[in-house]
Amino acid sequence: MRTKFILFVLLLTGIGGFAQQDAQYTQYMYNTINVNPAYAGSRGVMSIFGLHRTQWVGLEGAPVTNAVSLNTPLNNSNLGLGLSFVNDRIGPADENAISADFSYTINTSERFKLSFGLKATAHLLNVDFTKLNIYDGADPRFQNNIDHKFSPNFGAGIYLHSDKTYVGISVPNFLETKHYDKSSQSTAKENMHYYLIAGHVFELGSDVKFKPALLTKVVKGAPLQVDLSANFLLYEKFTAGLAYRWDAACSAMVGFQITNGLFAGYAYDMETTKLADYNSGSHEIFLRFELFNRNNRITSPRFF
Protein backbone atom coordinates (compact mmCIF):
# COMPACT_ATOMS: atom_id res chain seq x y z
CA MET A 1 0.00 0.00 0.00
CA ARG A 2 2.85 2.36 0.81
CA THR A 3 4.47 1.86 -2.62
CA LYS A 4 1.12 2.52 -4.31
CA PHE A 5 0.81 5.79 -2.43
CA ILE A 6 4.32 6.86 -3.45
CA LEU A 7 3.61 6.05 -7.11
CA PHE A 8 0.31 7.95 -6.97
CA VAL A 9 2.11 11.04 -5.65
CA LEU A 10 4.70 10.75 -8.43
CA LEU A 11 2.00 10.36 -11.05
CA LEU A 12 0.10 13.41 -9.85
CA THR A 13 3.35 15.36 -9.94
CA GLY A 14 3.72 14.47 -13.62
CA ILE A 15 0.05 15.13 -14.46
CA GLY A 16 -0.66 18.24 -12.49
CA GLY A 17 2.74 19.87 -12.36
CA PHE A 18 5.70 20.56 -14.56
CA ALA A 19 7.92 17.51 -14.08
CA GLN A 20 10.21 16.10 -16.75
CA GLN A 21 7.93 14.12 -19.04
CA ASP A 22 10.24 12.73 -21.73
CA ALA A 23 11.33 9.11 -21.43
CA GLN A 24 14.61 8.65 -19.57
CA TYR A 25 17.56 6.62 -20.87
CA THR A 26 20.84 5.66 -19.23
CA GLN A 27 22.47 4.60 -22.51
CA TYR A 28 21.50 7.82 -24.27
CA MET A 29 24.79 7.83 -26.21
CA TYR A 30 23.45 4.93 -28.31
CA ASN A 31 19.87 6.23 -28.51
CA THR A 32 20.61 9.73 -29.78
CA ILE A 33 17.92 9.73 -32.49
CA ASN A 34 15.17 10.02 -29.85
CA VAL A 35 16.83 13.10 -28.38
CA ASN A 36 18.21 14.88 -31.45
CA PRO A 37 16.78 14.50 -35.00
CA ALA A 38 20.02 15.81 -36.55
CA TYR A 39 21.62 12.46 -35.62
CA ALA A 40 19.67 10.72 -38.42
CA GLY A 41 22.08 9.16 -40.91
CA SER A 42 25.20 10.44 -39.13
CA ARG A 43 26.68 6.95 -38.69
CA GLY A 44 26.80 6.54 -42.47
CA VAL A 45 24.90 3.23 -42.41
CA MET A 46 21.35 2.03 -41.83
CA SER A 47 21.06 1.63 -38.06
CA ILE A 48 18.21 -0.28 -36.38
CA PHE A 49 17.90 0.13 -32.62
CA GLY A 50 15.67 -1.47 -29.97
CA LEU A 51 15.63 -0.73 -26.22
CA HIS A 52 13.70 -1.93 -23.17
CA ARG A 53 13.88 -0.10 -19.85
CA THR A 54 12.28 -1.17 -16.57
CA GLN A 55 12.60 1.57 -13.97
CA TRP A 56 12.32 1.31 -10.18
CA VAL A 57 11.82 -2.46 -10.09
CA GLY A 58 9.55 -3.47 -7.21
CA LEU A 59 7.55 -0.25 -7.19
CA GLU A 60 4.09 -1.07 -8.50
CA GLY A 61 3.19 0.85 -11.64
CA ALA A 62 6.74 2.21 -12.09
CA PRO A 63 7.84 3.45 -15.56
CA VAL A 64 8.45 0.94 -18.35
CA THR A 65 9.81 2.19 -21.68
CA ASN A 66 10.18 0.43 -25.03
CA ALA A 67 11.83 2.20 -27.96
CA VAL A 68 12.48 1.13 -31.54
CA SER A 69 14.14 3.29 -34.17
CA LEU A 70 15.66 3.20 -37.64
CA ASN A 71 17.84 5.87 -39.23
CA THR A 72 19.86 5.93 -42.43
CA PRO A 73 21.64 8.24 -44.88
CA LEU A 74 20.04 8.56 -48.30
CA ASN A 75 22.14 7.22 -51.19
CA ASN A 76 25.44 8.72 -50.00
CA SER A 77 23.85 12.19 -50.09
CA ASN A 78 23.77 14.89 -47.43
CA LEU A 79 20.29 13.79 -46.36
CA GLY A 80 19.31 11.45 -43.54
CA LEU A 81 15.99 9.96 -42.47
CA GLY A 82 14.81 8.36 -39.26
CA LEU A 83 11.69 6.69 -37.86
CA SER A 84 11.09 5.86 -34.22
CA PHE A 85 8.43 4.47 -31.92
CA VAL A 86 8.42 4.92 -28.13
CA ASN A 87 5.96 3.39 -25.70
CA ASP A 88 6.14 4.85 -22.19
CA ARG A 89 4.01 3.45 -19.37
CA ILE A 90 3.70 4.68 -15.78
CA GLY A 91 0.85 3.67 -13.50
CA PRO A 92 -2.44 4.11 -15.35
CA ALA A 93 -0.87 6.14 -18.17
CA ASP A 94 0.24 4.59 -21.47
CA GLU A 95 1.68 6.92 -24.12
CA ASN A 96 2.87 6.09 -27.64
CA ALA A 97 5.02 8.44 -29.69
CA ILE A 98 5.67 7.90 -33.40
CA SER A 99 8.32 10.20 -34.89
CA ALA A 100 9.83 10.93 -38.29
CA ASP A 101 13.25 12.61 -38.46
CA PHE A 102 14.96 14.46 -41.29
CA SER A 103 18.54 15.73 -41.34
CA TYR A 104 20.78 17.68 -43.68
CA THR A 105 24.58 17.60 -43.26
CA ILE A 106 27.30 19.95 -44.45
CA ASN A 107 31.08 19.64 -44.19
CA THR A 108 32.56 22.35 -41.99
CA SER A 109 36.16 21.09 -42.25
CA GLU A 110 38.14 18.01 -43.23
CA ARG A 111 37.21 16.41 -39.90
CA PHE A 112 33.88 17.87 -38.81
CA LYS A 113 30.36 17.80 -40.18
CA LEU A 114 27.39 19.86 -39.04
CA SER A 115 23.92 18.34 -39.25
CA PHE A 116 20.56 20.11 -38.97
CA GLY A 117 17.50 18.08 -38.04
CA LEU A 118 13.73 18.30 -37.88
CA LYS A 119 11.38 15.96 -36.00
CA ALA A 120 7.62 15.43 -36.43
CA THR A 121 5.83 13.40 -33.75
CA ALA A 122 2.36 12.00 -33.18
CA HIS A 123 1.49 11.34 -29.52
CA LEU A 124 -1.30 8.98 -28.46
CA LEU A 125 -2.19 9.00 -24.76
CA ASN A 126 -4.29 6.51 -22.79
CA VAL A 127 -5.08 6.78 -19.08
CA ASP A 128 -7.05 4.11 -17.22
CA PHE A 129 -8.09 5.65 -13.91
CA THR A 130 -9.56 2.33 -12.71
CA LYS A 131 -5.97 1.21 -12.04
CA LEU A 132 -5.68 3.82 -9.25
CA ASN A 133 -6.76 3.43 -5.66
CA ILE A 134 -8.89 6.59 -5.58
CA TYR A 135 -9.79 8.02 -2.18
CA ASP A 136 -12.91 9.80 -3.46
CA GLY A 137 -14.67 7.62 -6.05
CA ALA A 138 -16.93 10.54 -6.98
CA ASP A 139 -14.04 12.86 -7.88
CA PRO A 140 -14.97 14.14 -11.38
CA ARG A 141 -11.31 14.16 -12.48
CA PHE A 142 -11.25 10.36 -12.49
CA GLN A 143 -14.66 9.52 -13.93
CA ASN A 144 -13.71 9.30 -17.60
CA ASN A 145 -10.72 7.40 -18.93
CA ILE A 146 -8.61 8.99 -21.65
CA ASP A 147 -8.54 6.92 -24.84
CA HIS A 148 -6.16 7.54 -27.73
CA LYS A 149 -5.91 11.28 -27.16
CA PHE A 150 -3.94 12.56 -30.15
CA SER A 151 -1.53 15.49 -30.03
CA PRO A 152 0.99 16.42 -32.75
CA ASN A 153 4.37 17.99 -32.11
CA PHE A 154 7.58 18.97 -33.87
CA GLY A 155 11.18 19.58 -32.83
CA ALA A 156 14.62 20.46 -34.15
CA GLY A 157 18.28 19.99 -33.39
CA ILE A 158 21.84 20.57 -34.55
CA TYR A 159 24.67 18.04 -34.30
CA LEU A 160 28.38 18.77 -34.83
CA HIS A 161 30.42 15.60 -35.18
CA SER A 162 33.61 13.95 -36.36
CA ASP A 163 34.88 10.39 -36.00
CA LYS A 164 35.90 11.11 -32.39
CA THR A 165 33.85 14.07 -31.15
CA TYR A 166 30.23 15.17 -31.05
CA VAL A 167 28.20 18.06 -29.63
CA GLY A 168 24.47 18.52 -30.09
CA ILE A 169 21.66 20.85 -29.00
CA SER A 170 18.00 20.00 -29.51
CA VAL A 171 14.38 20.53 -28.54
CA PRO A 172 12.45 17.37 -29.54
CA ASN A 173 9.03 18.93 -28.82
CA PHE A 174 8.33 22.62 -29.31
CA LEU A 175 4.58 22.54 -28.64
CA GLU A 176 3.52 22.64 -24.98
CA THR A 177 0.49 20.45 -25.52
CA LYS A 178 -2.32 20.11 -22.97
CA HIS A 179 -3.00 16.42 -22.53
CA TYR A 180 -6.37 16.73 -20.81
CA ASP A 181 -9.56 18.43 -21.88
CA LYS A 182 -12.06 20.35 -19.77
CA SER A 183 -14.07 17.25 -18.86
CA SER A 184 -11.10 15.92 -16.88
CA GLN A 185 -10.64 19.27 -15.08
CA SER A 186 -6.88 19.25 -15.44
CA THR A 187 -4.52 21.92 -16.76
CA ALA A 188 -1.42 19.77 -17.18
CA LYS A 189 0.67 20.24 -20.29
CA GLU A 190 3.83 18.83 -21.78
CA ASN A 191 6.65 21.32 -21.53
CA MET A 192 9.61 21.92 -23.82
CA HIS A 193 12.74 19.92 -22.98
CA TYR A 194 16.12 21.37 -23.96
CA TYR A 195 18.95 18.87 -24.52
CA LEU A 196 22.72 19.31 -24.70
CA ILE A 197 24.80 16.23 -25.56
CA ALA A 198 28.57 15.93 -25.95
CA GLY A 199 31.23 13.25 -26.09
CA HIS A 200 34.81 12.58 -27.16
CA VAL A 201 36.85 9.43 -27.84
CA PHE A 202 40.41 9.27 -26.50
CA GLU A 203 42.72 6.55 -27.83
CA LEU A 204 44.67 5.27 -24.84
CA GLY A 205 46.42 2.58 -26.85
CA SER A 206 46.00 0.42 -29.90
CA ASP A 207 43.34 -1.70 -28.15
CA VAL A 208 41.84 0.72 -25.61
CA LYS A 209 39.57 3.72 -26.19
CA PHE A 210 37.99 5.96 -23.57
CA LYS A 211 34.85 8.01 -24.12
CA PRO A 212 33.38 10.43 -21.59
CA ALA A 213 29.90 11.67 -22.50
CA LEU A 214 27.43 14.24 -21.22
CA LEU A 215 23.68 14.74 -21.47
CA THR A 216 22.03 17.79 -19.92
CA LYS A 217 18.26 18.23 -19.90
CA VAL A 218 16.49 21.45 -18.94
CA VAL A 219 12.71 21.81 -18.52
CA LYS A 220 10.70 24.51 -16.82
CA GLY A 221 9.70 23.73 -13.23
CA ALA A 222 12.03 20.74 -12.78
CA PRO A 223 15.61 20.45 -11.47
CA LEU A 224 18.44 20.52 -13.98
CA GLN A 225 19.27 16.95 -15.05
CA VAL A 226 22.91 16.16 -15.79
CA ASP A 227 24.04 12.69 -16.88
CA LEU A 228 27.77 11.97 -16.92
CA SER A 229 29.20 8.73 -18.26
CA ALA A 230 32.60 7.19 -18.92
CA ASN A 231 33.01 4.13 -21.16
CA PHE A 232 36.05 2.08 -22.14
CA LEU A 233 36.18 0.14 -25.41
CA LEU A 234 38.55 -2.84 -25.37
CA TYR A 235 39.79 -4.58 -28.52
CA GLU A 236 36.92 -3.04 -30.54
CA LYS A 237 34.62 -5.62 -28.91
CA PHE A 238 33.86 -5.09 -25.22
CA THR A 239 32.54 -1.89 -23.63
CA ALA A 240 32.32 -1.18 -19.90
CA GLY A 241 31.66 2.01 -17.99
CA LEU A 242 30.00 3.94 -15.20
CA ALA A 243 27.50 6.79 -15.19
CA TYR A 244 26.10 9.27 -12.72
CA ARG A 245 22.77 11.10 -12.92
CA TRP A 246 23.04 14.21 -10.76
CA ASP A 247 21.15 13.77 -7.47
CA ALA A 248 19.32 10.72 -8.88
CA ALA A 249 21.26 7.54 -9.66
CA CYS A 250 24.55 5.76 -10.28
CA SER A 251 24.82 3.31 -13.17
CA ALA A 252 27.00 0.52 -14.52
CA MET A 253 27.05 -0.25 -18.26
CA VAL A 254 28.42 -3.07 -20.39
CA GLY A 255 28.24 -3.79 -24.09
CA PHE A 256 29.54 -6.32 -26.59
CA GLN A 257 30.12 -6.02 -30.34
CA ILE A 258 28.84 -9.45 -31.35
CA THR A 259 29.56 -8.91 -35.04
CA ASN A 260 30.55 -5.84 -37.09
CA GLY A 261 26.85 -5.06 -37.46
CA LEU A 262 25.36 -6.24 -34.15
CA PHE A 263 25.96 -4.57 -30.78
CA ALA A 264 24.22 -5.39 -27.47
CA GLY A 265 24.26 -3.40 -24.24
CA TYR A 266 22.96 -3.50 -20.66
CA ALA A 267 22.80 -0.91 -17.88
CA TYR A 268 21.81 -1.06 -14.23
CA ASP A 269 20.80 2.05 -12.27
CA MET A 270 20.95 2.30 -8.49
CA GLU A 271 18.92 5.13 -6.99
CA THR A 272 20.67 7.66 -4.76
CA THR A 273 17.41 9.32 -3.63
CA LYS A 274 14.88 8.24 -0.97
CA LEU A 275 13.19 6.13 -3.67
CA ALA A 276 16.01 3.61 -3.14
CA ASP A 277 14.08 2.39 -0.07
CA TYR A 278 11.16 1.28 -2.26
CA ASN A 279 12.77 -0.32 -5.34
CA SER A 280 15.68 -2.52 -6.36
CA GLY A 281 16.99 -0.32 -9.18
CA SER A 282 16.40 0.02 -12.92
CA HIS A 283 17.41 -2.23 -15.83
CA GLU A 284 17.99 -1.25 -19.46
CA ILE A 285 18.93 -3.48 -22.40
CA PHE A 286 19.34 -2.68 -26.08
CA LEU A 287 20.32 -4.15 -29.43
CA ARG A 288 21.68 -2.21 -32.40
CA PHE A 289 21.85 -3.80 -35.83
CA GLU A 290 23.54 -2.06 -38.77
CA LEU A 291 23.52 -2.84 -42.46
CA PHE A 292 26.70 -2.24 -44.46
CA ASN A 293 27.50 -2.37 -48.14
CA ARG A 294 30.70 -2.09 -50.12
CA ASN A 295 30.59 1.70 -50.16
CA ASN A 296 30.08 2.33 -46.44
CA ARG A 297 31.73 -0.67 -44.81
CA ILE A 298 33.87 0.33 -41.84
CA THR A 299 36.93 -1.50 -40.53
CA SER A 300 36.11 -0.97 -36.84
CA PRO A 301 32.87 -0.24 -34.94
CA ARG A 302 31.94 3.35 -34.16
CA PHE A 303 31.96 4.24 -30.45
CA PHE A 304 28.87 6.45 -30.74
CATH number of the domain encompassing residue 75:
2.40.160.40
pLDDT at 61: 84
Residue 62 lies in a domain: yes
Residue 26 lies in a domain: no
Residue 54 lies in a domain: yes
pTM of the model: 0.84
Domain count, the chain: 1
pLDDT at 17: 36
Residue 187 lies in a domain: no
pLDDT at 188: 52
pLDDT at 126: 85
Residue 147 lies in a domain: yes
Residue 280 lies in a domain: yes
Residue 299 lies in a domain: no
pLDDT at 256: 96
Residue 131 lies in a domain: yes
pLDDT at 139: 57
Quote the domain boundaries for residue 107. Answer: 32-181+202-291
Burial class (CB in 10 A: 0-12, 13-18, 19+), 222: middle
The pLDDT tens digits along the chain (304 residues) read 444 444 444 444 444 333 446 788 999 999 899 999 999 999 989 999 999 999 999 888 889 999 999 999 998 789 999 999 999 998 888 899 999 999 999 999 999 999 999 999 999 988 876 666 665 555 556 556 677 788 899 999 999 999 999 999 999 999 876 655 444 445 456 678 899 999 999 999 989 999 999 999 998 877 889 999 999 999 999 999 999 999 889 999 999 999 989 999 999 999 999 888 889 999 999 999 998 765 555 544 566 7
